[in-house]
Structure 1
Amino acid sequence: MIIEQSCSATRAGARVALVTCAKLPDLDPDDQSLVPALAAAGITAVPTVWDDPAVDWSGYDLAVVRNTWDYPRRRAEFTAWAGSVPQLANAADVIAWNTDKRYLRELAEAGIPIVPTTWIDPGDPVDLQKDGETQGEIVVKPAVSVGSVDTGRYRLPEQEDLAVAHVRRLQDAGRLVMVQPYLADVDTAGETALLFIGGVFSHAIRKGPILTGPDEGVDTLYQEESITPRTPSPAEHALAERVLDALPFDRSALLYARVDLLPTPSGDPVVIEVELTEPSLFLTTAAGAPDRLAAAIAGLLPAARR
């Protein structure tokens, strides 16, 4: 497996771009931990902004997508950029598939349990009552998004007008909308994210509940989250493994993957997202995680540099 490959053969002089966005030119603090881990492996890591026209991507042995969190409203531009980079991880076809949450439909068709979802296209009538969401709590979000941005939680029927207004705001921007039930067990159990490097389980974390109410339309890069280490349950681990096996890609070819699960009243987890593009990997929450990722990156470098 990739994470078992040694970095010792990597020749000094290998250069890796850690791809970020203009609002985080020096990377997120968690990803900054990868820079010394790569240096210890003889690899120079350079934080690099994905849409900077001055960057010569051919000057890097590999570009690793990390904090490109400003792409949701520029997805076409972002996926075109990914396709233009000579050596990219994860690969451009993975990014094209994973940056639109319609991939959840494919996983559901493959037998993977996901959060029940109603899809509302731009121009569709908005009738939450017709969609069966007449009481309880729901979540409204766009199909292309990161970090809970443009996502809101609503009580029905009391906040139906606010929920409908949120849906229409997203529709007016030409965005596909997802409406899901709010799974209240997350308020106590939290969300579980399982992290894989080179297709092999590395570590897991607990994310505390983040959605407290309606989306206020604030323009932000991402929402802060409460993160702590977690040992996943056997059921969570088994479901995450099933997810990776159900992907339309060879799991061992993925530099990183994150499977986000929510608890249900039955006790059986369901998938809320599969992050293969630019997920936070929470490297600093698990001993050795930055070194494991550095080793996997070294395993992807062209043979001439190893």
Structure 2
Amino acid sequence: MRIALVTSHRFPEPTWRDEDTPLVARELRARGATCDVVTWDGGERVEWAGYGAVVLQSPWSMWTRLPAFDEWLWDRELDGTRLLNPLDAIALGANKRYLSRLGTAGVPIVPSTLIEEPDPATLRAVFAASDASRPTVVAKPIASGGALGAREFTVEELSALVAYLRELGPALVQPYVTAIDAHRELGVVTLDGTISHAVTKAASLRPGDTARAFHPDPQPYPGLTAQQERVIHHAYAELRKLLVNEPLSVRLDFIIDPASPSGLLLLEVEMVAPVKFLPLFPEQCANYAEAILARARS
């Protein structure tokens, strides 16, 4: 069985690291698979359809080259490549408009305003909903990952926010939820529709710091509560309704907010090529490799 793990020739930021792929490759090879780590954008000639599965691990340069990545995906569709995640999950995950659809379905989400054309009155309303202890908003591209392009603004910076949104095009604007500073972010990794493992992470945006940490300080989460599991299962069930195919693996990112009725607020879902923090979870890494091979054989 031949498996391709897809990465990038160069990541968008020097701090970005892919620590999952070497471990996944080792687990696949230990199970008798031929495993190649290849770039989608490196220019080498690759017979993609010759692999039993082509797994998107870290093709993260895509966020700065979306038209080229879309073309690459279309080529894989035409040549019959088995992509993991499936193409419908990749397409949905590459556009954060899914978040409002999940919110409409009753999933507790971080309040999110889609901005097509920035309007100061609309933006002032978002500021009005922010926490008094940190009355800021976060603007992020509609298509992004790893906090790439996310910027925090105060109301005094409204004109700069408007200019930035015009630069971005379609974007999401969210009030900064201060619960993340005290209670951290919860990342829940799924495998074939079930919860595999969970981590907490520190906030990526830090006051007075323009740098964007890449999944800072990940730690295994000691145990999901029954309430948290209900929220997670509800979020995944509603996400699944938006898809034709079961994803191999996604990561649902929540803010832990004990003051909210649900206790969790969905921030986003990484569906294209989620970091899975596998160095912290060797058993789950083995399970992930087994799931890849099962998909490739099916």
Deviation at 1:163, TM superposition (A): 3.0
Find the aligned partners of 2:71 and 2:87 in 1 and give their Cα distance.
9
Find the aligned partners of 1:239 and 1:77 in 2 and give their Cα distance.
36
Deviation at 1:21, TM superposition (A): 0.7
Pairing 1:1-306 to 2, within 5 Å after superposition? 14-23=1-10, 28-53=18-43, 54-85=45-76, 86-121=81-116, 123-127=117-121, 129-134=123-128, 136-155=135-154, 157-170=155-168, 175-213=169-207, 223-230=214-221, 231-247=223-239, 248-249=242-243, 253-264=246-257, 265-266=259-260, 268-302=263-297
Deviation at 1:120, TM superposition (A): 1.1
Deviations 1:71-127 (A, max 9, x none): 123323323322332111101121111100001121112211111111111x44344
Deviation at 1:193, TM superposition (A): 0.6
User: What TM-score results when the alignment is normalised by the length of structure 2?
Assistant: 0.85
Please tell me the residue identity of whatever aligns with 1:19: V
Deviations 1:224-282 (A, max 9, x none): 5221110233322221211221122367x211111111123326211111111111011
Please tell me the residue identity of whatever aligns with 1:226: D
Deviation at 1:130, TM superposition (A): 4.3
Deviation at 1:289, TM superposition (A): 1.3
RMSD: 2.3
Q: Kindly tell me: are residues 57 and 83 of structure 1, through their superposed partners in 2, closer, same or farther at Cα, counting changes over 3 Å?
A: same
Deviation at 1:190, TM superposition (A): 0.2
User: What TM-score results when the alignment is normalised by the length of structure 1?
Assistant: 0.83
Q: Kindly tell me: are residues 117 and 47 of structure 1, through their superposed partners in 2, closer, same or farther at Cα, counting changes over 3 Å?
A: same
Find the aligned partners of 2:119 and 2:188 in 1 and give their Cα distance.
37
SS at match of 1:169: helix
Q: Kindly tell me: are residues 250 and 235 of structure 1, through their superposed partners in 2, closer, same or farther at Cα, counting changes over 3 Å?
A: farther
On the 8 A contact 2:88/2:243 being kept in 1, the answer is no
Find the aligned partners of 2:68 and 2:55 in 1 and give their Cα distance.
18
Deviation at 1:286, TM superposition (A): 1.8
Question: Which is further off, 185-194 or 224-233?
Answer: 224-233
Find the aligned partners of 2:233 and 2:177 in 1 and give their Cα distance.
22
Deviation at 1:28, TM superposition (A): 1.4
Deviation at 1:197, TM superposition (A): 0.9
Find the aligned partners of 1:28 and 1:132 in 2 and give their Cα distance.
35
Deviation at 1:132, TM superposition (A): 4.0
Q: Kindly tell me: are residues 128 and 215 of structure 1, through their superposed partners in 2, closer, same or farther at Cα, counting changes over 3 Å?
A: farther
Question: Which is further off, 110-119 or 183-192?
Answer: 110-119
Q: Greater share of helix residues, 1 or 2?
A: 2
Count of aligned pairs: 278
Q: What's the % identity of the aligned pairs?
A: 28
On the 8 A contact 2:100/2:112 being kept in 1, the answer is no
Structure 1 residue runs of 5 or longer lacking an equivalent are 1-13
